Structure 1
Amino acid sequence: MAFGKPAMKNVPVEAGKEYEVSIEDMGKGGDGIARIDGFVVFVPNAEKGSVIKVKVTAVKEKFAFAERV
């Protein structure tokens, strides 16, 4: 029997890697929202409609955080 957090399956992003994303929407806190293969990525200081390069800083089970490069 395994204990702890279940392994994250089908997560298309990896912490430390860079991606080019399109900011599709804005979150309640003002972060830009991008999607990579349908997976939500929050990007602070990003404007809706912009296409930017980001570096993923943290990956959770259902979303990730990234910063502009």
Structure 2
Amino acid sequence: MTTRKSRKIVIQITIILAFIFSLVIAYIARGTGMSSMLLIFMAGLQVIVMLSILYVLETVIEIMEAK
């Protein structure tokens, strides 16, 4: 149980860091007008979505095992 809880905390921290990274990249892309930065921003958003799905799956597995 504690391993799962610590894993969920790590996933949450990674989601927050990926979100901050995406915001910084979007700010740089807006200032420079570079389309390659927008691709990096989209990749950052993709990472956030995948980590969010992983977090939800961890929670669902935890709920299923509790029953």
Q: Same fold (TM over 0.5)?
A: no
Q: Based on CA coordinates, which of the two structures has the bigger radius of gyration?
A: 2
Taking structure 2 as the reference length, the TM-score comes to 0.20
Greater share of residues in helix: 2
Higher strand share: 1
RCO higher in 1 or 2 (8 Å CA, sep ≥ 6)?
2
